[in-house]
Each structure stands twice: as structure tokens, then as C-alpha cells.
Amino acid sequence: MNDKELLATALSDLRQLILAAKVTFLNNKIADNTGKKSLFKMVDSFLLKKPSLRLPAHNSLEELVETFNHFFIKKIVDITRNLDALGSNWIPEERRNPGVFSFFSPVTLPELSSLILACPTKSSPRDPIPTSLLKELLPVLAPSLLRLVNLSLSTGVFPDEMKLALVTPLLKKSSLDPEVLGNFRPVSNLSFLSKLLERVVARQLIAYLEQRTNVVYLSLFNQRIGRIIRQRLPCLRC
């Protein structure tokens, strides 16, 4: 066979493996929930159509996307401006000398594998394979993922590709008027690898803060890894 035929065969085999993994995953979920009320909820999620996305009236999707984009960017600018105004009247606490956080430590294979298995089994359309399949093939994929993560840590580069997300505007409450942009909140769906690298960085940074400054950190973006921060952080400029 020539290269084109080999590629077509390999892609066909890959699709079959992904399909088989999905079937196995769903069969296991159904088996685990048999006899439980959660089984009906799970089956409904497979069979019933999800509620349609409620959006403002628009003439074109491209126009609506740009409208939301400008609105959310302006909202971030306004929040930043308000925080800066509040900070101008804030009297900082006594300066501390927490030392210098100059580099991230390389992650070991057992550490990364444990972190991956502890992550929620959620996938994004930006993921090349489902997270459930990644976990199943972890012994094979972990060394490559480890190299990517440690390369990012050692170079201080967060790849641009991993900064991309699918953003969906959702109403804060179903009863709110969809014609008012302020009633929407942006929900970003990042790739699994992007969230994994964030967790690796957060774990090391939090460990540094707790050991050197006795600062208890704030849980941001629903990532809680321990305690709750004091009402305000001291000025830490390393």
C-alpha cells in the first residue's frame, strides 16, 4: 500500500477505536447506575434534546458574535478600571519578603498521571480525543504529555493554541430577558491539556505561597485545592 492508503487505513482504525471506547464507556455508566434514580437522568441526557440556546434577535450570526465580543471585552475593561480605582485608596499591609519564585520544577511521570486521573472526565470540542479515552490510554500517552508540560514549564511559554477556547454566552437565569446583553455570562470551554497545564502551575504556585508567606489562597474559576484566602492578599511583588 502507498502512503495515502496507509493513512486512510490508520484513520479508519482510529475511528473504530474511538467508537469502541465510547460504547464501552456508556455501557459501563449504564451498568454502574442500574437500579438507581440517576439512571433515568443519564438516559434522558442521551435521548432528549437539550434546551435550545436563547440568544438576542440578530440578522446574522457573525454580527451577533462581534456584538457579544465587544460587550464582554468592555465589561472586563470596566471591572479592571473599577478595581484600580478601589486600589488607589487601599493601604497595603506591611511588606513581607517571601523570596523569589524564579522557576517551575519539572513534573514527574507519577505526579502527572495522578493529576490526570484526578481531573474530571470532561471533554472539549478542541480535544483531539475524548478525555475518557485519554485516561484509558494513559500509560501510552503520559510520556508525551509529560514532555509537553515540562517543556512549557522550562521555557515559560504557554502555547497560543492552548489559549483558545469555545465561548458560549449563557443566560444567568432562564427567566431573564435574552435581549439584554448584561443578562449573559461567557462560558469558556478550554482543551483538556490547557486545563491540565493550569493545574500543574497552580499546584506549584500555591505550594510556594503557603510555604513562604503563609498566605492562604483564593479559589478562582471553580478550582478549589484547599483553603480559602484571607479577605485580601498582601502585596507580593517578587
Residue 123 sits at the vertex; the CA angle it makes with 149 and 220, to the nearest 5 degrees, is 65
Residues 196/119, Cβ–Cβ less than 8 Å: yes
* 169-184 confidence digits (pLDDT tens): 999 988 899 999 999 9
Q: How do residues 181-218 score in pLDDT, each as one tens digit?
A: 999 999 989 999 999 999 999 998 888 877 766 554 44
pLDDT higher at 192 or 222: 192
CA distance 215 to 228: 10
Mean pLDDT of 104-130: 91
The predicted-structure confidence for 129-157, as pLDDT tens digits, reads as follows 889 899 999 999 999 999 999 999 999 89
Task: Find, among 150, 160, 219, 151, the residue nearest to 191 by Cα.
Answer: 160
The amino acid present at 212, given as its one-letter code, is R
Of the chain, the percentage scoring pLDDT greater than 70 comes to 79
Residue among 89, 137, 130, 120 nearest 196 (CA): 120
DSSP for 45-64, written as a single string: HHHSPPPPPP----S-HHHH
Please write the tens of the pLDDT for every residue from 39-49.
777 776 666 55
Average pLDDT in the chain? 80
DSSP 175: T
pLDDT at res. 234:
40
pTM of this structure: 0.62
CB-count exposure of residue 220 (10 Å: 0-12, 13-18, 19+): exposed
